[in-house]
Structure 1
């Protein structure tokens, strides 16, 4: 299976490519490189309108592969409705979708951004547990699951990785492939690496794609306000495919407006 990963430039809080340009980037990848399962980094689409356009184009192409994309500002009323009295957190406008079996599927809105979201009194984990079915897509005999950016914090630890609940652990172990798009390059590299290796152990695959932020605000310890750090589109960790706990070699294509790489698993 050919896995494709697509990233774009983020400048501070704004994407450099417009919404329509990001749709066209996805379509160009599909037409040019024909990946079986392309994953775009976070903010891959701007609004509901771009999602509708992408769906129409994929239908017109009769696209048979699996496509993952996130809408940065999703306004439609798709929000998980808990069934067991769970206190619903404030809805995120970031929502992930998958194109599979000839139509768009709502994967879900981002429920966690950082480890502190899992603290006492926060019901995000319980809500995520109720949404696990929608986070899973069957594709060519493989169970593919999706976590959005900081939702990776459902795993705790570094030297010893542990899921935050037995139910989530069972779901993760049931998957063949996990996709995890992020909005830009994530910090705490050693911990992130350990979690990715855990998710790809025992013959499973982990796939991630991040945007590069050319004007990333970084808080200085001196208290003098934020500094600006430029992330690099050539970073090895911008896009990652791991299989059985090891990095899979990726082929980097010569694109100017976006970064595309692919790998075979």
Structure 2
């Protein structure tokens, strides 16, 4: 039997909803291995100690920080999503290391272009991987078994188009305490506190509805539902308050000098720029 078959469904692969699985399961990193290498300066001797929800009681090599929830074929098919996240983080981290929280230099205008489609899929992949591996927990530490819809898998594998009211978002209101927007003035964002993932779960049944993912000091919301009404609610507990969906760019401006991430989108929806003005 060939390793990949258009009709084969691997029982351990969460992306098996339409077949196309390989016969082998690969270790899917909870957070992209390339990102771990970036933030550990590619130190071959580094060990990481996952938080208790991952149920890994000892320090491990980064290559072992994985869940066996994707077949090799579907895992390899998501490499562009990992590449988009790496490009985003590499750009912001290099600026942060030069800026040194104001002790270094800001430099000249600079920008990078990143596929918004692939970055959006990376955020979704991170959330789905955590859900499929049952590592999301409630406040009391109890594990939350979370279902993943077929629609989410179709979006992840680029089999369907995103509805206009679903998808990626960033803060559009600096009073939203749930969402970070500053990659440059906390040293932790280039050392120990450079990523996190928290789900949005619809109960009865417990279904992954989206989540909030932090990378390089910036928070991204991801919604698998019509979020238009939620964007207007100003409750303190609402992480979606005044979120800007699918920005065309994110810019950080200091003394008139911008550092910009431009997102390239293939969908027909409106995309607007978001700018953060920094003070030294």
TM-score, normalisation: structure 2: 0.28
- Greater strand share, 1 or 2? 1
Greater C-alpha radius of gyration: 2
The structure with higher relative contact order (CA 8 Å, sep 6+) is: 1
TM-score, normalisation: structure 1: 0.29
